[in-house]
Amino acid sequence: METVEEGQNRRKILKLADGGEEDRISNLPDCLILEILSRLHSTQDAIRTGALSKRWIHLWTSITTLIFKHSELDDTLTPCRKTPTSRSDFVSFVDKTLTQCRPSKLKKFVVSTTYDSRFESQVNQWVHYAINFNVEELSLSFYYSGELEGVFPFDQSFFIISCFTHLTLVICELNPTRPISWKNLRNLSLSRLTLDEDLIKNILSESPQLETLELILCCGFNRLDITSRSLKNLVFSGYSDPMCFLGEDIVEINAPNILSLTIQNTILLWM
């Protein structure tokens, strides 16, 4: 049996959905509504808000934050399916969304999925899409799905982009053939990457505004020589090298200018 209070709340919701007089959110200017949509947990959530008001149906196509997470689309893409959404379904969803979304500028672009080399061209198109809209925060996380199915390689243009301010990369390949140029990068998080000492030096020397560096379960180096005067925060979380036995990984850190050093997980360090 519905109470009086529940009945009043239900009528309010119906009025909001129908664009009634109490729909205060829809009366906000587009810029504020877009800010609200951009702060939702995922792009799928932003798309679904079109059901709340006719005015909202196409607003999401101008949002400045795009977040695609494969695991979170299982129920929303295929609500009647009991098995997880396939990678091809996820790729198709991202492709379709990007053809409709045309922001004036992208603040954040996030992709989190398992990677398959068969979709390398599509992933490259996503990265170029974000760069074309001058993305500030780029996060690309490619996870293994039981068997190794390739590691995503960036093309060389990726290493000379000046729009990045925050960059997060998980399980991919950094293979620059010339000096990197990330002139405005302030925060860099690298997880499960192979990084030799020359590559680290290249990143640090060509990222003059870099303030925070996170290395999470990376490998390929035995020494971190960080003399950058801009870098103030270093997070070092484990060292993952399948060729080393537990306890035999030794990393030397030389970082005289940092103000904050965070060391996580078990590792031997020479300071």
Q: In Å, how far are 67, 70, 88, 138, 210 from 85, measured between CA atoms?
A: 17, 8, 8, 24, 37
- Kindly give, in sequence order, each residue whose CB lies less than 8 Å from that of residue 267, ignoring residues fewer than 6 positions away: 236, 238, 239, 249, 251
Residue of higher predicted confidence among 244 and 190: 190
Picking from 188, 133, 127, 179, the residue whose alpha carbon sits closest to that of residue 153 is: 127
pLDDT computed for residue 238 by the predictor = 84
Mean pLDDT along residues 61-76: 76
Could you tell me if 16 and 121 lie in one domain? no
Residue of higher predicted confidence among 18 and 110: 110
pLDDT computed for residue 249 by the predictor = 62
Helix (H, G, I), strand (E, B) or coil at 45: helix
CB distance 179 to 201 below 8 Å: no
41-45, 174-178, 203-207: segment of lowest average pLDDT: 41-45
Backbone angles phi, psi at 182, to 5 degrees: -110, 75
CA 192, 182, 196, 255 torsion: positive or negative? negative
- Kindly give, in sequence order, each residue whose CB lies less than 8 Å from that of residue 28, ignoring residues fewer than 6 positions away: none
19 backbone φψ class: left, alpha, beta (φ>0; ψ -120 to 50): left
Q: How many CB atoms lie within 10 A of CB 161?
A: 20
Could you tell me if 174 and 53 lie in one domain? no
With cut-offs at 50, 70 and 90, classify the pLDDT of residue 96.
Answer: very high
Picking from 45, 38, 50, the residue whose alpha carbon sits closest to that of residue 109 is: 38
Of 12, 31, 59, which residue is a domain's last?
59
Of 41, 59, 77, which residue is a domain's last?
59
pLDDT computed for residue 246 by the predictor = 45
Q: In Å, how far are 24, 46, 92, 170 from 98, measured between CA atoms?
A: 30, 13, 10, 22
Could you tell me if 16 and 70 lie in one domain? no
Mean pLDDT along residues 97-113: 92
Q: State the pTM of this model.
A: 0.81
CB distance 103 to 133 below 8 Å: yes
In percent, the amount of the chain with pLDDT more than 70 equals 76
243 backbone φψ class: left, alpha, beta (φ>0; ψ -120 to 50): alpha
How far is it, in rounded angstroms, from Cα 43 to Cα 35? 13
The edge-to-edge listing of strands for the beta sheet with 250-254 is 223-225, 250-254, 268-270
With cut-offs at 50, 70 and 90, classify the pLDDT of residue 269.
Answer: low
pLDDT computed for residue 148 by the predictor = 53
The CA-based angle 132-136-138, given to 5 degrees, is 85
In the predicted structure, residue 93 carries a pLDDT above the cut 80: yes
Could you tell me if 48 and 123 lie in one domain? no
**Domain range holding 33?**
1-59
How far is it, in rounded angstroms, from Cα 186 to Cα 95? 29
pLDDT computed for residue 38 by the predictor = 81
Could you tell me if 130 and 54 lie in one domain? no
Could you tell me if 235 and 173 lie in one domain? yes
Total tally of structural domains belonging to the chain: 2
In the predicted structure, residue 244 carries a pLDDT above the cut 50: no
Residue of higher predicted confidence among 160 and 9: 160
Could you tell me if 178 and 227 lie in one domain? yes
With cut-offs at 50, 70 and 90, classify the pLDDT of residue 103.
Answer: confident
Of 37, 59, 81, which residue is a domain's last?
59
Could you tell me if 105 and 15 lie in one domain? no
In the predicted structure, residue 10 carries a pLDDT above the cut 50: no
Backbone angles phi, psi at 61, to 5 degrees: -70, -10
In percent, the amount of the chain with pLDDT more than 90 equals 50
Could you tell me if 46 and 64 lie in one domain? no
Q: How many CB atoms lie within 10 A of CB 149?
A: 15
pLDDT digits (tens, 9 = 90+) for 147-195: 556 789 999 999 999 999 999 999 999 999 999 999 999 999 999 999 9
Could you tell me if 250 and 170 lie in one domain? yes
Could you tell me if 115 and 241 lie in one domain? yes
Could you tell me if 111 and 206 lie in one domain? yes
Helix (H, G, I), strand (E, B) or coil at 150: coil
